[in-house]
């Protein structure tokens, strides 16, 4: 996609569609007269009569007057300008992206200055415009043989503004990077499990490593057995597919590989529940049980593009959880990479097992702080609904810093408590150090708290995205299906940490 910045008159916009933001009082826009002239001076009357709406996200499509380069105009309402935030602006442009995709408008001009306010500047608009349009127009390439529709993508987006061209270009580029990474994560989650196996997930990591010069390490079953990764190997026992532990290292900070942030993702490519078998309706959609891995891959794509000055290691534990004569079962006792033993009470609590070994490996590889991301429990949906990511932590300052990134991206995160009594229940077993399922009460807390047992004293945040990883219907930033949640927040957090470094420019 080509992005251009142009300081020119509105009537010179010559691409397929001109996108204009209409606040509650559009006559106060700086170049209102030029816009009004495109419609023979009648636009304000149409606004007053309700034919063109300024209500938030309301869309009106009109052909422009003859004699100008403008072919047609898509107005999108902004409501009261003083209430417009950067998150709302992102949703506005996502709505525009959906509309333009429906019209197959691949070449678009945006009058960027019509979206600016006293608190939102032109670079905010550029960032939101490119990111929102790409998120809103996302589609998954399905496997239907009867469709004749070609895949949609924007060929050119032109931003018309009087603001500094270099600043707008930089902001638009960051918006593009964020959106493309989220869409890549979405595609991973949407891919069927017979196609996206652990081996294929490792191949995706290889592509990222080659593109961004990451250091790559991929451990197969034999290497895991040599190291003693009994937790992930137990989950894999029932499968005919090889497991993979995927490690990507980005050396953007100091050269001695210290002060390293570890990002750990659950990569269960399909989850039957094992011998603690899910009901048939509960099994549908379990191709998305690798949403945590997708989020980490998305974050690493952003990091690879923007090159923040921070050392980052990403660890993905990937396998499916199947049923066979060899599958692990309730009452088994397994030994994790850390040496801790685990009594298996529920084979459907497998995500925390693979994360246990992945977190341990991240620590052994130099991670000084950890964030794990997983579609871990149905309990988080019961507690918080489907629009909030649940969190646990063992470090207040670390979590508060992360929350600033969450607020910046608008990806809602809510912390739940993890008490000593919760930890005591996780450590209750007659035969092992830990049990993997103390009960249904406090389900999300016990799931994440189990992972915390392997983080130990290392500053750690657990993110349960079981509710937010997929949307059951079209939403503000995209279509039904995978959302790519947490890719932007994880990367933004790394960028913020890099900016805080003493030698950061």
CB 234 within 8 A of CB 344: yes
CB 108 within 8 A of CB 2: no
By CB atoms closer than 10 A (0-12, 13-18, 19+), residue 143 is exposed
DSSP SS3 for 37: helix
DSSP SS3 for 69: coil
Beta strands in 186-340 (DSSP E): 215-219, 244-251, 260-271, 311-321, 333-335
352 is annotated as an active-site residue: yes
Instruction: Give the span between the Cα atoms of 375 and 463, in whole angstroms.
Output: 8
Q: Which two tokens stand for residue 356?
A: 């246990």
Q: Which two tokens stand for residue 351?
A: 């995500």
Instruction: Give the span between the Cα atoms of 20 and 72, in whole angstroms.
Output: 11
DSSP state of 277: P
Q: Which of 244, 249, 310, 352 is catalytic?
A: 352
427 is annotated as an active-site residue: no
Q: Give the contacts of 345 (CB within 8 A, at least 6 positions apart).
A: 330, 331, 435, 436, 437, 438
Angle at 324 between CA 322 and CA 327, to 5 degrees: 70
Q: Which of 278, 309, 423, 427 is catalytic?
A: 278
Q: Which of 347, 369, 377 shows the shortest CA–CA distance to 449?
A: 377
Instruction: For the beta carbon of residue 458, count every other beta carbon within 10 angstroms.
Output: 18
- The secondary structure of 428-456 as a DSSP string is --SSSSEES---STTHHHHHHHHHHHHHT
119: left (phi over 0), alpha (psi -120 to 50) or beta: alpha
DSSP SS3 for 329: coil
Instruction: For the beta carbon of residue 427, count every other beta carbon within 10 angstroms.
Output: 14
Beta strands in 353-492 (DSSP E): 367-374, 389-393, 413-415, 434-435, 460-464, 470-471, 481-482
Point out which residues pair with 435 in neighbouring strands.
343
Q: Which of 460, 502, 501, 464 shows the shortest CA–CA distance to 486?
A: 464
Catalytically active residues are: 278, 352
């Amino acid at each position: 996609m080509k992005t251009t910045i142009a300081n020119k008159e509105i009537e010179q916009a010559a691409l397929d569609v001109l996108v204009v933001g209409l606040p509650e009082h559009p006559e106060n826009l700086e170049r209102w007269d030029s816009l009004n002239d495109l419609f023979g001076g009648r636009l304000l009357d149409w606004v007053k009569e309700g034919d063109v709406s300024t209500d938030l996200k309301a869309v009106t499509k009109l052909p422009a007057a003859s004699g100008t380069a403008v072919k047609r105009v898509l107005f999108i309402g902004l409501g009261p300008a003083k209430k417009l935030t950067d998150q709302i602006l992102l949703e506005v442009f996502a709505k525009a992206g959906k509309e333009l995709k429906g019209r197959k408008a691949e070449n678009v001009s945006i009058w960027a200055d019509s979206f600016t306010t006293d608190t939102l500047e032109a670079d905010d608009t550029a960032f939101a415009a490119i990111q929102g349009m790409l998120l809103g127009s996302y589609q998954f390439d399905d496997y239907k043989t009867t469709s004749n529709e070609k895949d949609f993508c924007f060929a050119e987006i032109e931003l018309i503004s009087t603001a500094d061209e270099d600043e707008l270009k930089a902001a638009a580029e960051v918006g593009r990077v964020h959106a493309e990474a989220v869409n890549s994560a979405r595609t991973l989650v949407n891919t069927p499990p017979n196609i996206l196996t652990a081996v294929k997930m490792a191949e995706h990591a290889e592509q990222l490593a080659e593109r961004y010069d990451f250091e790559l390490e991929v451990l197969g079953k034999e290497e895991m057995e040599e190291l003693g990764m009994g937790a992930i190997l137990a989950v894999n026992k029932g499968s005919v597919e090889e497991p993979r532990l995927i490690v990507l290292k980005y050396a953007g900070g100091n050269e001695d590989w210290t002060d390293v942030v570890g990002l750990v993702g659950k990569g269960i490519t399909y989850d039957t529940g094992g011998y603690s078998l899910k009901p048939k309706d509960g099994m549908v959609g379990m191709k998305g049980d690798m949403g945590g891995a997708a989020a980490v891959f998305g974050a690493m794509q952003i990091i690879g593009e923007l090159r923040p000055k921070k050392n980052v290691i990403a660890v993905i534990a990937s396998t499916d959880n199947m049923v066979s004569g060899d599958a692990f079962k309730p009452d088994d006792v397994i030994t994790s990479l850390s040496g801790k033993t685990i009594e298996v009470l529920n084979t459907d609590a497998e995500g925390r097992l693979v994360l246990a070994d992945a977190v341990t490996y991240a620590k052994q590889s130099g991670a000084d702080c950890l964030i794990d991301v997983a579609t871990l429990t149905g309990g988080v949906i019961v507690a918080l609904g489907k629009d909030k990511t649940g969190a646990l932590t063992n470090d207040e300052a670390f979590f508060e810093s992360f929350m600033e990134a969450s607020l910046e991206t608008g990806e809602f995160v809510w912390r739940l408590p993890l008490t000593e009594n919760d930890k005591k229940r996780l450590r209750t077993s007659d035969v092992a150090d830990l049990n993997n399922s103390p009960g249904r009460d406090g389900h999300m807390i016990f799931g994440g708290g189990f992972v915390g047992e392997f983080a130990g004293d290392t500053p750690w945040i657990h993110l349960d995205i079981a509710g937010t990883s997929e949307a059951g219907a079209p939403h503000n930033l995209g279509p039904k299906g995978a959302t790519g949640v947490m890719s932007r927040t994880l990367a933004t957090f790394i960028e913020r940490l890099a900016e805080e470094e003493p030698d950061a420019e």
